[in-house]
């Protein structure tokens, strides 16, 4: 029986990779719905190929244009619009699996709705856990949802954990988990060198093909900081048991260290189709389209400590995790505002951590009781961060 899959963020890099894997296994997977913000040219091409029953376009004008295009061609697809349509879509009883690949805070409501509905949830939106970790994981536990991580690092940790792992590292002899970081395009740069880097340089990642926002996060090491927080909620580990090392080859995707001295790691080519295929088929294995790793061709593996002086965003993420409560949500909101401003050439690269630091200091920590509380603190942090961006601009 085919899995009926919703791909949220189908026109992004993760969404496109997901559809590539699905297309290789038409007997196993059926695309029930596709969702995008406003990139309807690519979405129309995806609709042609995968023939979903539903397409959601968040932007109303883009949705109307897509409706007219499909009607002119006689294609019967239920085109819906608005953020609420995403939430209703993932709650449908005829949906089995949800790929949550909408970037940033915008992806939280639909990902949380899928968790609450008890779906098989492939989570590529790390901000959902960063912003609302306690709320999100409580929804997973209560609904019985199957939560499978898509980030290459967390998927690697998932594969390297004991099969019976249930969130208790002491019971399974885990000492630490180690998240690997490529170092991004500015690996080895000093603070002086970082003072003049441009958005074009920041989005030129040496290993991974990603969107602009996540590329800047990788360049600042904030992406790794967000992954530290995500790992805390996924695997039940305190900050003290989560390490980060720079591994420029991006071949070892992450590791688990055990108290007996063993270290288990997941290796592979830097291609997101591997974790996507793993999560789609888990606990089975399917072909992803990724070439098998040639260890001889790899040559060598290098590791280094991250430079927290040049890249303070990683330290800020650890601080927010240790503070708990609303602090990670504030961190994420301030980062999204600061990164957008940097991409618009309104602030410098080194202003990004300063905007985040000041916003974290200005907004007191509060407990998160539900989605409304999360969204309220997110909005407050965005307004605060925006005012700091404007004072610099």
d(CA 160, CA 155): 9
The pLDDT value recorded for residue 280 is 98
Give tens-digit pLDDT for 130-185: 999 999 999 999 999 999 999 999 999 999 999 877 777 877 899 999 999 999 99
Task: Confirm whether residue 25 is marked as ligand binding.
Answer: no
The pLDDT value recorded for residue 207 is 64
Task: Confirm whether residue 12 is marked as ligand binding.
Answer: yes
Q: 380 vs 171, which has greater pLDDT?
A: 380
Task: Confirm whether residue 370 is marked as ligand binding.
Answer: no
Mean pLDDT, residues 352-379: 96
125: confidence class by pLDDT, cuts 50, 70, 90: very high
Q: Quick one: what percent of the chain has pLDDT higher than 90?
A: 90
Average pLDDT, the chain: 95
Task: Confirm whether residue 337 is marked as ligand binding.
Answer: no
Task: Confirm whether residue 59 is marked as ligand binding.
Answer: no
251, 301 in Cβ contact below 8 A? yes
Check pLDDT > 70 for residue 310. Answer: yes
Beta bridge partners of 33: 6, 54
Strands 252-258 and 174-181: antiparallel
Q: 278 vs 393, which has greater pLDDT?
A: 278
Q: In terms of CATH, what superfamily is 3-149?
A: NAD(P)-binding Rossmann-like Domain (3.40.50.720)
Task: Confirm whether residue 211 is marked as ligand binding.
Answer: yes
Mean pLDDT, residues 66-77: 92
Task: Confirm whether residue 243 is marked as ligand binding.
Answer: no
Beta bridge partners of 244: 179
3-state SS of the chain is CCEEEEEECCCCHHHHHHHHHHHCCCCCEEEEEEEECCCHHHHHHHHHHHCCCEEEECCHHHHHHHHHHHHHCCCCCEEEECHHHHHHHHCCCCCCEEEECCCCHHHHHHHHHHHHCCCEEEECCCHHHHHHHHHHHHHHHHHCCEEEECCHHHHHHHHHCCCCCCCCCHHHCEEEEEEEECCCCCCCCCHHHHCCCCHHHHCCCCCCCCCHHHHHHHHHCHHHHHHHHHHHHHHCCCHHHEEEEECCCCCEEEEEEECCCCEEEEECCCCCHHHHHHHHHCCCCCCCCCCCCCHHHHCCCCCECCCCCCCCHHHHHHHHHHHCCCHHHHHHHHHHHHHHHHHCCCCCCCHHHHHHHHHHHHCCCCCCCCHHHHHHHHHHHHHHHHHHHHHHC
1: confidence class by pLDDT, cuts 50, 70, 90: confident
Task: Confirm whether residue 182 is marked as ligand binding.
Answer: yes
Chain mean position to CA 175: 25
Q: Where in the sequence of the chain do the CATH 3.40.50.720 domains occur? A: 3-149
Check pLDDT > 70 for residue 294. Answer: yes
Task: Confirm whether residue 18 is marked as ligand binding.
Answer: no
Q: How far is CA 289 from CA 35, 277, 308, 367, in A?
A: 24, 9, 37, 44
d(CA 63, CA 57): 5
Q: What order of strands is seen across the sheet that includes strand 3-8?
A: 78-81, 54-57, 29-36, 3-8, 97-100, 120-123, 146-149
The pLDDT value recorded for residue 209 is 62
Task: Confirm whether residue 126 is marked as ligand binding.
Answer: yes
Q: Please give the angle made by the CA atoms of 161, 165 and 169, to the nearest 5 degrees.
A: 80
Mean pLDDT, residues 312-324: 98
Ramachandran sector of residue 373 (left: φ over 0; alpha: ψ -120 to 50; beta: rest) = alpha
Task: Confirm whether residue 209 is marked as ligand binding.
Answer: no
Task: Confirm whether residue 212 is marked as ligand binding.
Answer: no
Check pLDDT > 80 for residue 393. Answer: no
Please give the structure tokens belonging to residue 63. Answer: 């949705």
Task: Confirm whether residue 82 is marked as ligand binding.
Answer: no
The pLDDT value recorded for residue 105 is 87
Task: Confirm whether residue 332 is marked as ligand binding.
Answer: no
């Amino acid at each position: 029986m085919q899995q009926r899959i919703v791909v949220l963020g189908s026109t992004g890099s993760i969404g496109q990779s997901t559809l590539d894997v699905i297309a290789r296994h038409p007997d196993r997977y059926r695309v029930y719905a596709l969702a995008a913000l406003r990139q309807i040219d690519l979405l129309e091409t995806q609709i042609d190929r995968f023939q979903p029953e539903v397409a959601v376009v968040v932007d109303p004008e883009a949705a109307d244009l897509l409706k007219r295009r499909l009607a002119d061609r006689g294609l019967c697809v239920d085109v819906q619009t608005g953020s609420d349509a995403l939430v209703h879509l993932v709650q449908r009883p005829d949906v089995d699996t949800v790929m949550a690949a909408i970037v940033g805070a915008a992806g939280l409501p639909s990902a949380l709705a899928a968790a609450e509905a008890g779906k098989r949830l492939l989570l590529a939106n790390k901000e959902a856990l960063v912003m609302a970790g306690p709320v999100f994981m409580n929804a997973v536990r209560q609904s019985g949802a199957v939560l499978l991580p898509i980030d290459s690092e967390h998927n690697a940790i998932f594969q390297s954990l004991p099969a019976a792992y249930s969130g208790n590292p002491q019971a399974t002899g885990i000492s630490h988990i180690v998240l690997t970081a490529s170092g991004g395009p500015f690996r080895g740069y000093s603070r002086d060198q970082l003072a003049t880097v441009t958005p074009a340089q920041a989005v030129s990642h040496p290993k991974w093909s990603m969107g602009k926002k996540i590329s800047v996060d990788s360049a600042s090491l904030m992406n790794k900081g967000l992954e530290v927080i995500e790992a805390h909620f996924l695997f039940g580990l305190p900050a003290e048991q989560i390490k980060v090392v720079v591994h420029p080859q991006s071949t070892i995707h992450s590791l688990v260290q055990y108290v007996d001295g063993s270290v288990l790691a997941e290796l592979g080519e830097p291609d997101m189709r591997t974790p996507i295929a793993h999560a789609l088929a888990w606990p089975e294995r399917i072909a992803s389209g990724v070439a098998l790793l040639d260890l001889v061709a790899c040559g060598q593996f290098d590791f280094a400590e991250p430079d927290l002086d040049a890249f303070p965003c990683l330290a800020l993420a650890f601080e927010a995790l240790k503070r708990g409560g609303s602090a990670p949500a504030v961190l994420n909101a301030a980062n999204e505002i600061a990164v957008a401003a940097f991409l618009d050439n309104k602030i410098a690269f080194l202003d990004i951590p300063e905007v985040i630091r000041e916003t974290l200091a200005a907004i007191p920590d509060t407990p998160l009781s539900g989605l409304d509380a999360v969204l309220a603190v997110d909005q407050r942090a965005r307004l605060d961060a925006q005012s700091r961006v404007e004072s610099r601009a």
